[in-house]
Amino acid sequence: MKSRTKYSDDQAQALLRSRAEFRPQGEWLREPMEAEGGCGVTGFACTIPVGGKHIYEPSKQMRNRGNGKGGGIAACGLVAEDLGVTPQVLKEDYILQIALLDPEARGEVERKYVEPFFDIDHGGIIPTVDDYRDVPLLEVRPPDVARYFVRPKAGVLERFAAGKGLSALSGQDLAEEFVIQNSLQLNREFYSSLGDKRAFVMSHAKNLIILKIVGFAEASVQYYQLSDTRAHVWIAHQRFPTKGRVWHPGGAHPFIGMNEALVHNGDFANYHSVCEYLAQRNIFPQFLTDTEASILLFDLWNRVYKYPLEYIIEALAPTTEFDFDQLSAEKQRIYRQIQAMHMHGSPDGPWFFIIARSLVEKGAFQLIGITDTAMLRPQVFALQEGEVSIGLICSEKQAIDATLASLASEDKRFTPIADKYWNARGGSHTDGGSFIFTVSPTEDANNASAGNYSMAIADKFGKPVTISREQVHCDLSVPINRPSDTEKARTLIEQAISEREPRLLYEHLRDSMTDLEYDRLRWIAGRIAGETKVKAPVVGIEALTLLLDHHYPLGRKKRSSVLTIFRCALEEIFAAQPLFDESGEGAYRRITWESRDRLRAPAGVEKTLLIDASGFEPEGADCDAILAVRAYHLGWKHLVHYNSRGTRFHAAGFGPSTDGLRVDCYDNAGDYLASGMDGLEAYMHGNAQDQLGQITKRGKLVIYGDVGQTFLYGAKGGVCYVMGNAAGRPMINAVGRPRVIINGTALDFLAESFMAGDPHDGGGFAILNGMRYDEAGNLIPLDSPYPGSNLLSLASGGAIYVRDPHKKLADEQLNGGVYRRLTKADWKLILPYLRENEKLFDIQIERDLLTVDKVVRLPSEVYRKVVPSKDAEIETDMEGLDECNA
């Protein structure tokens, strides 16, 4: 066997030829056994190994993305002592895990596929709970799983190489191919998709394991007792198969490649084409799912063809159209070759992958997220850096925050809020639709408790993702060292209470934040909570809400720590308000899961119902959104949800003509917020999730952060203000008169198929300001106000007003639209909305929007208008009659 040097095309072809025996007899291409619905995926990578209990919490939070017919986890970068082996065994051995659907099959499996071929350094059945029925919602007993730490025997590899024509492979390549083919043989004999199913290989990697069940993902952590098993990388999947009988976990995620585990949300429109592409290379799915086909593609391009990760991602999610044109000539040349060779094997989505990967030669571990070009599956990335670093990828932001909250409850080096959240843009020239978190050992990496691993984060192209190294987190576990000279702060708090003026507190803290030390900030926040929670809760709540909502310079303090401090203070005020059966007077009443049956109409001066969402289900009859509807019909006109953990349908379901109703949401409100609103006002104090404002008719929606996928789908009206960005396809199929301001940008497909008539005659429009806040809290322009293509694509009405003073937008970004100059009439139309935007977010028209390169410009020099092509002639006439010189 050769050393690992140059790898040739001949070696790749030889390896693929060696699999010819695995071609099934007769008709091999069949439909997938179960169709997938909308699934939930989550994962994180950390510079210290952490227990499986921390993948449990986000999995539980996304339980409503599964239906209990399949769930699983993968762990990578494990700790040897947790598995009962030495560090050397963990480093050198393959961890072969075999699911025993028939426990009686164990002896036969070992005699045929383990003992003859491997040296076994450690082995046995993975421990489980005594009775699976003790695990909540687990209805089917998971299989026993036999785990073996193995190394292929030298003589076995020599015979395998000679018999398969693989003598030119390096030792590692040969060993990996032998392990793969041994698993294929085992699965073929003991697991048939249409016949008896007695056993199958769950995983066979180095320093990576997979466990999956018929049930929810978190149940696999409980059943196989993984709460205290530590790893650097964890991923999980909640499955939602929509057809087929599911009694065993063979079709559940994750799926194993070689040293990679993949979970997947979505489906393939071209499953047959992908399978045919694989079959041409003697690769055949055994479990008949598109997720299995995905990991087979990744393994082919990674292990067989030796493509770098960038090229693998390009083959999976090709760069197209406008984005392709933005690439360098050399990259275009390479990508054309990749697309020409592999396009018919590229999965046609929508899909989103999360991959856990063991980089054996480097002793490193990766967490990879990849979205397709359609971007119809939700995805959020996050990063927290400090004494320890963690990168997270999930279907929903609330799952990210659930992970961080779980970690922070055990280790104060973590905070419950990430330093940075963002989305990927699939198939793009900006980030390639992928981000990779790589955890690599440092000099003292063998000391696992010391955190001697570092993390690098980059996009598909290798461009790093960084956050400020000058800012530091606050250690909230340390008692507050009361600062000296607190008289001024106490006097200000008393003044704010006596004058009922929360902005006094907000403006003082905003203006002095740069110089405040953490101890003084914590003391002031605690003092605000302590003094206002009884005397004047409205003052404390509004002041702290303003501090949570807005951006301002922070000095050396991390925004995530500052927000955590203010959230804790706000929570103290909320928790101090009386329940229905408690004494107390005032505008606020509070309700919890335990006290939900005591809900009644407001009495006396009561105006606001505080709903503690913890304990409620995320959707259905027992969710707090349903309770809010009941409260509204009893007469409550101001509803506040807090401690939300992904509850769907907040500010929805109240019925027609809900003028006078206000709904405020804190923490992590879930999908469909304010959908169908007709008159009410809804305020999201933080980032929002997907599918907000669907089919809205009237009302006002304000988001103090970003919004997720398909924002305002099919909306017919309403006014919406977004402080940050929108993900893919905002305002798709919207009609009528929705009016929207997005102060950041949208990933792609903004206002696709917009049917909103004439903006000057009651129709709808969007304003895109293309701004962002930097880590210092300053508002700055984005490099481009809109990075994607398909701007106002295939629209028949409406308009988009884009802040684009340097004319960076190109014709290639349009699809059925044209650019036109802003007129006086246009400015008169959008100015009232910009003024309200200024009031809500303190994004000032003159200072922030009309100032370009430190010079105040005319509106027509700053904004451009995009209209459907059919309206272009009318718009040209308007420009001539009404040129904007305001």
The 10s digit of each residue's pLDDT in 716-740 is: 999 999 999 999 899 999 999 999 9
Question: For 48-65, b where at least 16 C-beta lie within 10 A, e where not — what string?
Answer: bbbbbbbbbbbbbbbbbb
Q: How confident is the model at residue 614 (pLDDT cuts 50, 70, 90)?
A: very high
Distance CA 69, CA 48 (A): 32
pLDDT of residue 244: 47
Q: How confident is the model at residue 469 (pLDDT cuts 50, 70, 90)?
A: confident
Percent of the chain at pLDDT > 90 equals: 83
Q: Which of 228, 208, 231 is nearest to 453 (CA)?
A: 231
Distance CA 445, CA 877 (A): 69
Query: Which contiguous run of DSSP H or E holds residue 46?
Result: strand 40-51
- Positive or negative, the Cα torsion across 183, 188, 189, 190? positive
- SS3 (DSSP) at 827: helix
Res 110 pLDDT > 70: yes
pLDDT of residue 375: 82
Distance CA 31, CA 71 (A): 21
- Read off the pLDDT of each residue in 204-233 and give the average, rounded to a whole number: 96
Tokens of 751: 């206002």
Distance CA 253, CA 261 (A): 9
- Read off the pLDDT of each residue in 421-445 and give the average, rounded to a whole number: 91
Res 16 pLDDT > 90: yes
E strands, 769-871, in order: 771-773, 779-781, 799-803, 817-821, 851-852, 855-856, 863-868
- Read off the pLDDT of each residue in 517-537 and give the average, rounded to a whole number: 96
Amino acid symbol at 44: F
pLDDT of residue 61: 81
pLDDT of residue 60: 84
Half-sphere exposure of 584 (CA within 13 A, CB side): 18
Q: How confident is the model at residue 560 (pLDDT cuts 50, 70, 90)?
A: very high
pLDDT of residue 34: 55
pLDDT for 161-212, tens place per residue? 999 999 999 999 999 999 999 999 999 999 975 567 999 999 999 999 999 9
* β partners of residue 71: 213, 238
E strands, 87-207, in order: 94-100, 118-125, 144-152, 199-205
- Positive or negative, the Cα torsion across 284, 289, 295, 297? positive
Pairing between strand 698-703 and 678-685? parallel
User: Which residue in this structure is represented by tokens 């009962």?
Assistant: 84
**DSSP per-residue string spanning 278-343:** HHTTT---SS--HHHHHHHHHHIIIIIS---HHHHHHHHS---HHHHHTS-HHHHHHHHHHHHHHG
Distance CA 696, CA 719 (A): 9
What is the side-by-side order of every strand in the sheet holding 208-213? 208-213, 71-78, 230-238, 40-51, 390-394, 380-384, 420-422
Structure letter (DSSP) for residue 768: E
Q: What are phi and psi of 626, to 5 degrees?
A: -70, -40
Q: In sequence order, which ranges of 447-501 are alpha helices (DSSP H)?
A: 487-499
* Residue with more model confidence, 443 or 97: 97
* Average predicted confidence (pLDDT) for the chain: 92
pLDDT of residue 223: 96
- Read off the pLDDT of each residue in 327-335 and give the average, rounded to a whole number: 97
Q: How confident is the model at residue 449 (pLDDT cuts 50, 70, 90)?
A: very low
Res 73 pLDDT > 90: yes
- Read off the pLDDT of each residue in 423-431 and give the average, rounded to a whole number: 94
Q: How confident is the model at residue 450 (pLDDT cuts 50, 70, 90)?
A: very low
Distance set, CA 878 to CA 32, 304, 351, 830 (Å): 56, 61, 44, 16
pLDDT of residue 290: 87
3-class SS string, 529-594: HHHHHHHCHHHHHHHHHHHHHCCCCCCCECHHHHHHHHHHHHHHHHHHCCECCCCCCCCEEEECCC
Q: In sequence order, which ranges of 138-233 are alpha helices (DSSP H)?
A: 154-164, 171-190, 217-223
**DSSP per-residue string spanning 204-221:** EESSEEEEEESS-HHHHH
pLDDT of residue 321: 86
pLDDT of residue 329: 97
Contacts of 40 (CB under 8 A, 6+ apart): 59, 62, 63, 64, 65, 66, 217, 237, 238, 265, 395, 396, 399
* Residue with more model confidence, 839 or 585: 839
Torsion angle defined by CA atoms of residues 617, 620, 624 and 628, in that order, rounded to the nearest 10 degrees: 180
Res 885 pLDDT > 50: no
Percent of the chain at pLDDT > 70 equals: 94
- SS3 (DSSP) at 772: strand
* Residue with more model confidence, 31 or 261: 261
Q: Alpha carbon 755 to chain centroid distance?
A: 30
pLDDT for 617-658, tens place per residue? 988 899 999 999 999 999 999 999 999 988 899 999 999 999
Question: For 96-133, b where at least 16 C-beta lie within 10 A, e where not — what string?
Answer: bbbbbbeeebbeebbebbbeebbeebbeeebebeeebe
Pairing between strand 608-612 and 638-645? parallel
Res 14 pLDDT > 90: yes
Res 853 pLDDT > 50: yes
- Read off the pLDDT of each residue in 9-17 and give the average, rounded to a whole number: 92
Residue 344 in contact with residue 273, Cβ under 8 Å? yes
Q: How confident is the model at residue 35 (pLDDT cuts 50, 70, 90)?
A: low
Res 663 pLDDT > 60: yes
Tokens of 627: 């309770």
pLDDT of residue 194: 57
Tokens of 425: 């843009």
Q: How confident is the model at residue 268 (pLDDT cuts 50, 70, 90)?
A: confident
Q: What is the pTM of this model?
A: 0.94
* Residue with more model confidence, 8 or 387: 387
* Count of beta carbons in the 10 Å neighbourhood of residue 604: 8
- SS3 (DSSP) at 456: strand
pLDDT of residue 241: 67
pLDDT of residue 886: 44
Q: How confident is the model at residue 881 (pLDDT cuts 50, 70, 90)?
A: low
Res 140 pLDDT > 50: yes
CA-angle at 44, arms to 43 and 45, nearest 5°:
140
pLDDT of residue 192: 73
**DSSP per-residue string spanning 364-390:** EEEEEEEE-TT--S--EEEEE-SSS-E
3-state DSSP: the chain helix, strand, coil percent, rounded to 5?
A: 35, 25, 40
Tokens of 602: 């407001």
Q: Which of 466, 407, 456, 368 is nearest to 49 (CA)?
A: 407
- SS3 (DSSP) at 724: coil
Q: What are phi and psi of 808, to 5 degrees?
A: -85, -25
Amino acid symbol at 516: L
Query: Which contiguous run of DSSP H or E holds residue 457?
Result: strand 453-459
pLDDT of residue 884: 47
Residue 225 in contact with residue 124, Cβ under 8 Å? no
* Count of beta carbons in the 10 Å neighbourhood of residue 88: 10
Q: Alpha carbon 689 to chain centroid distance?
A: 9
Res 373 pLDDT > 80: yes
